[in-house]
A and B are shown apart, each in its own frame.
Chain A
Amino acid sequence: MLALPRIAPVLALTALVAEMAVVLADPLPADATYRPLPTRPFSAVKADDEAQKPQVMQRQTALLSQRYDLSNRATPGVMMSGGRKPVQGAVRVKLPSGITWETLAAMPPEEIRRRNLLPEGFKPLPHVKHATGGQVFPSEQIKAIDRLEQRDLRRFDVDFDLPDHMTPEFPPPIFLTTHPELGDVSRGQLLSLRNFYELLNGIVTPVQMEGMRLLLTPFPQEEFNQTEDRKVAAPSTGVACMDCHSNFHTNAAFHLTPDIRPQAARFRLDSTSLRGVFAQQIHGSKRSLRSVEDFTEFEQRTAYFNGDHVSATRKGVHLPDRPNQVAMMAQMQNMVDFPPAPKLDPFGRLDPTRATRQELDGERLFMGKARCMECHAPQTHFMDNNMHDLKLERFYRVGETVNDFTPMPDGPIKTFTLRGIKDSPPYLHDGRLPTLADTVEFFNLVLGLKLEQGEKDALVAYMLAL
């Protein structure tokens, strides 16, 4: 550090600011922030999009297989909460050649960055077609909504990119805080405008029922609407909240974060579960909205997660009435419980008479050496209602473009709950980690934990019990 006189530079800086104020700089181009209007007719765009689609999917498949082993390798005897889908096991993120997880974890971040050794699967995951972005639904959701409501959620430019066995069970079970005695109230069906009344009459209040109706009602969205800017073949009535949050859980539908511009730097968003939303005090991976009411109201305003009220208004805006409609939608969401975790006591700690030795080992690590509970606190449903920056960019060179995506450092991201976590693959806010074993390797590296293999296995066993 040079010992410079500090006063003179401050004066100079003041003079500089004064000078610059006289000549106003030109802003960056308008569409660095605002969504541009399409420049071409819908039919021409659709024809080009359809022609590109095989290559788009091939490119994403190549990226995924370069990063992950996505084979179907279920953990024996471990099913998701509805008993319909097995939980996938094993570490799926691929290592660079000649490296083991142990040698990697022994290196300082600078060395990993310099030698370009961070596993590609630990880096931010691109959208299947990043320059366009927008919501992409898994085929099961598309088929179910087509059957139930004759509403088309299929995009002509892209398909969903993850194999079916790597996503949550479908349709997921629904557990209500108001009816713990009933268990799953979904009757194995997907909630839709056609069946919600039949399924819920007698177990929700009139207020909750009206909230449910609104949560299932489609409204125009950036890619699903009536304009030439859509990515669905026929003019569309739109998308409903529950199209991503199937049965108040998630179907792994993805999108781009609404909170960042320009488009190339927006990170992918994996739909989060709404289970246990009653306990969450902040909402949105980056926005920290302070209530589910705020979140519900605001997402209607900006056409579901595009952060663009201007474009949303052109496509048909829905402004739910705050004291009535928003409150009812929020109340319905707040009745949705986590799945049962019979081994946990009322404060989220393992009951030693029910847990295995390995699970208890996992809990001890979770609270100690592995440092998980510093954010995922059991007493507050394995969250801390806070946001943290893992500073992953210590480990890789920022600014490289992958499939039109220029990932910048993520910055602080909301802590997500770990209750019922085995039901919610893939993991992290963008779904970059396919299994719980991947999350253990990720945090082992990022937090410098130096866990041994037996300890990693115990942590996975513990998370399966949550």
Chain B
Amino acid sequence: MARRLIIAAAMLVAAGTAPVLAQIGNPAGMDPATAASAPAPSAPQDANTQDELFVLLLGMGSRAEVEAGRMAEAQANRPAVRDFARRMVEDHSKGNEQLTALADRNRLALPKDVAPEHKAMRRQLESLSGAAFDLAYLQGQLVEHQKTAQLLEWEIGMGQNPQLVRFASATLPVVLEHLETLQRLWSDTTGAAPAGLAATGSTHAHKVPGS
């Protein structure tokens, strides 16, 4: 399975990105039907069940984050939370577009709806206003970003499709920046000491305006 490495290297050259070295997975976890010959880089790539599940789970989470962000842009109490929500709508819309393009190119199914937990969150947010809304939104986003970071790390280790693994690698630092920003916002909102990445400041996260 030299193919995946070669293709990933070709993609790197084409993209002219920083010297991130090509990914090499564990062949024990590949799709059993993986073809023996190397297709062109633009053609659909083999995908294992992890790749398929990754597209579904990330797609649902990302849609939910845009949805919740739109609500918070309109309803959040504090300007800092509204600013964060606006950034979530922008970043996750962009992420969704990229994921959709990758899924289409690799003929993988995208989710038709968000997950039940996201619907519960939507109902919850609809019933709240003011400071209570901010807290519920931030709590939901904290959990969602923790899970998304774990999901991306999982795909980086377990995925087979080089385009999806590269996408996961490129997305992870951004999601961790969101997480750090959220941890700061949570601290500013509740008065608790900053936790996680916000405790040391380990991403390129923007300073939270108005906090």
Taking beta carbons and an 8 Å cutoff, which residues of A are in contact with B? 1-2, 4-6, 8-9, 11-13, 15-16, 19-20, 22-26, 28-29, 31-32, 36, 38-40, 44-45, 48-49, 51-52, 55-56, 59, 62-63, 66, 110, 113-114, 129-132, 228-229, 262-265, 391, 393-394, 396-404, 406, 409
Of B65-73, B101-109, B150-158, the segment with at least 4 beta carbons within 8 Å of chain A is B150-158
* Residues of B with C-beta under 8 A to A397: 173, 202-204
Cβ-defined contact, A16 with B139, below 8 A: yes
Q: Which residues of B contact A39 (CB under 8 A)?
A: 28-32, 48-49
- In residues 1-50 of chain B, which contact A (Cβ within 8 Å)? 1-2, 5, 19-32, 34, 48-50
Contacts of A11 in B (CB 8 A): 132
**How far in angstroms is the closest Cβ of chain A from B131?**
5
Bound-state CA distance A394–B200 (Å) is 6
A31 to B140, CA, bound (A): 24
In contact, A399 and B172 (Cβ under 8 angstroms): yes
The listed residue (A2, A12, A40, A406) touching B78 by CB distance below 8 A is A2
A400 and B173 within 8 A (CB): yes
In-complex Cβ contact of A6 among B22, B177, B191 (8 A): B191
Question: B110 to chain A: which residues have CB within 8 Å?
Answer: none
The smallest C-beta distance from B161 to any residue of chain A, in angstroms, reads 13
- Taking A23-B117, A28-B154, A264-B153 as contacts, is the C-beta distance between A12 and B204 under 8 angstroms? no
Closest to A401 in B: B169
Residues B26 and A132 in contact, CB atoms below 8 Å apart: yes
Pick from A25, A31, A45: contact of B50, CB under 8 Å: A31
A48-B27, A55-B24 are known contacts. Are A113 and B202 too (CB-CB below 8 A)?
Answer: yes
| 26 sample A-B contacts, Cβ–Cβ < 8 Å, listed by A number | A8-B132, A11-B132, A20-B121, A25-B143, A26-B115, A28-B154, A29-B57, A29-B151, A44-B27, A48-B1, A48-B27, A48-B30, A52-B1, A63-B21, A110-B201, A131-B157, A262-B153, A265-B157, A393-B202, A394-B200, A398-B173, A399-B172, A402-B21, A404-B23, A404-B24, A406-B156
Let me know if A19 and B189 touch, CB within 8 A: no
Task: Give Cα A45 to B25, complex, Å.
Answer: 11
In whole angstroms, what is the CA distance A228 to B31 when docked? 16
Q: How far is the CA of A409 from the CA of B198 in the complex (A)?
A: 12
B residues at A contact (CB < 8 Å): 1-2, 5, 19-32, 34, 48-50, 53, 57, 78, 115-117, 119-121, 123-124, 128, 130-136, 139-140, 143, 147, 149-154, 156-158, 169, 172-173, 175-177, 188-191, 197, 200-204, 211
Contacts of B151 in A (CB 8 A): 28-29, 32
A13 touches B136 (CB 8 A): yes
A110 to B205, CA, bound (A): 12
B30 near A59: Cβ-Cβ < 8 Å: no
User: Which of A25, A40, A51, A402 contacts B117 (CB under 8 A)?
Assistant: A25
Interface pair B203/A20, CB less than 8 Å apart: no
- In angstroms, Cα B206 to Cα A114, docked, is 12
Of A6, A29, A51, A265, the residue contacting B1 (CB under 8 A) is: A51
Which residues of B sit under 8 angstroms from A49, Cβ to Cβ?
A: 27
Q: Which of A6, A39, A55, A399 has the most CB of B within 10 A?
A: A399
Q: Which residues of B contact A16 (CB under 8 A)?
A: 124, 135-136, 139-140
Considering only CB atoms, which chain A residue lies closest to B171 in the complex? A399
* B115 cross-chain contacts in A, Cβ below 8 A: 25-26
**CB of A133 to closest CB in B, whole Å:** 8
**Distance of A4 from chain B, by nearest CB (Å):** 6
Contact B150 A262 (CB under 8 A): yes
Most buried by B among A11, A393, A397, A401: A401
In the complex, what distance in Å separates the CA atom of A403 from the CA atom of B133?
Answer: 41
> Are A404's CB and B32's CB within 8 A?
no
Q: Are A12 and B117 in contact (CB under 8 A)?
A: no
A228 cross-chain contacts in B, Cβ below 8 A:
28
- Asked if A12 and B29 make an inter-chain contact with CB atoms under 8 angstroms apart, the answer reads no
Contact indicator B156/A401 (Cβ below 8 Å): yes
Cross-chain contact A9 with B131 (CB below 8 angstroms): yes
Chain B residues whose CB sits within 8 angstroms of the CB of A263 once the complex forms: 154, 157-158
Question: B135 contacts A40, CB within 8 Å?
Answer: no
Question: Is the CB–CB distance between A5 and B131 below 8 Å?
Answer: yes
CB distance from A69 to the nearest CB of B (A): 18
**In the bound complex, how far is the Cα of B38 from the Cα of A137, in angstroms?**
32
Bound CA span A86–B119, Å: 65
Return A187 CB to nearest CB of chain B, in Å.
41
A129 to B62, CA, bound (A): 30
